[in-house]
Amino acid sequence: MSSIPDLVRDNKLETSFDHKFTVHYYDDSDNEEHRRSNQRSEYWEESEQLARGGFGEVFLQHCVKGKHTHEFRAVKKIARSRARQFDYVSELEIIAKFSHRRVSR
């Protein structure tokens, strides 16, 4: 088993699934006032399939509740396969790299 690159590990996002929503959890802290961090959540709803490829499918989602309400994003769902684990790590590293604010906006 290969190790997870820092780029992938640093972009890990706490997620759960609630019926038709993907829910992400964030810890926001206010370092200037030294307050305890507050947890916020965002609810994303999947609307349509945009593409399909060798590693999975890409879907359009929109935020229905949270800080980014009314924003859209493309989400890639990667199919699981133990035989191609190295390919997953590479794919996740590419997604993390190109999901950076500087690149994706």
Q: What is the pLDDT of residues 47-102, one digit of tens each?
A: 999 999 877 889 999 999 998 898 999 988 877 665 455 567 777 788 777 776 66
Of all residues in the chain, what percent carry a pLDDT higher than 70?
Answer: 76
87 Cβ contact list (under 8 Å, min separation 6): 55
Q: What is the pLDDT of residue 34?
A: 60
Tokens of 2: 């290969």
Closest CA to 92 of 5, 24, 2: 5
Output the pTM of the full model: 0.70
Q: What is the pLDDT of residue 1?
A: 45
